Amino acid sequence: MPQIVAKFNSSKSSACWRECGEQVTTRIHIFWEGLILVPYWTNVFGFINKHFQVNLPRDPLVAILGVKTDLIKSEKTRYLLQILLVAAKKNITMKWLQRRPPTLDERLYGQ
């Protein structure tokens, strides 16, 4: 987290390293609110809603914390949803210091 690094090293900036313009970044910014991540999460939720035939809201409570998934009745399907959300977050960490956003295709199809 840029904010934490800057706290311990005054020569480092607390601004977002993805150059989105945010001056003080937080975990929620890095995983959810960053401008380059908005299209990514929109694609993730589009994929989930299409393939699970549900209408999950694009919400950090669902994406980051995995709550509010009661729209999915099947326990097996909810478990699969949790795996997909973990993979989506892992995709963000794999591109951690890069300015380019992750894509859904990279995680699903290894591209």
Express each pLDDT in 53-85 by its tens digit: 999 999 999 999 888 777 788 999 999 999 999
The domain total for the chain is 2
pLDDT of residue 61: 92
Q: Are residues 28 and 57 in the same domain?
A: no
Q: Are residues 41 and 29 in the same domain?
A: no
Per-residue pLDDT for 1 more than 80?
Answer: no
Q: Are residues 42 and 24 in the same domain?
A: no
Question: What does the pLDDT look like over 15-51, one tens digit per residue?
Answer: 676 667 666 677 887 888 888 889 999 999 999 999 9
Q: Are residues 68 and 16 in the same domain?
A: no
Q: Are residues 30 and 52 in the same domain?
A: no
Per-residue pLDDT for 8 more than 60?
Answer: no
Q: Are residues 46 and 94 in the same domain?
A: yes
pLDDT of residue 93: 87
Count the residues in the chain.
Answer: 111
Which residue segment(s) compose the domain that 20 sits in?
A: 1-35
pTM: 0.79
Residue type, 28: I
* Angle (nearest 5°) at CA 91 between 31 and 48: 85
Q: Are residues 73 and 110 in the same domain?
A: yes
pLDDT of residue 13: 61
Widest distance between CA atoms in the chain: 51
Q: Are residues 62 and 25 in the same domain?
A: no
pLDDT of residue 14: 62
pLDDT of residue 6: 45
Q: Are residues 28 and 60 in the same domain?
A: no
Q: Are residues 59 and 83 in the same domain?
A: yes
Q: Which residues, including other chains, have CB under 8 Å from residue 53's CB and lie 6 or more apart?
A: none
pLDDT of residue 110: 59
Q: Are residues 95 and 105 in the same domain?
A: yes
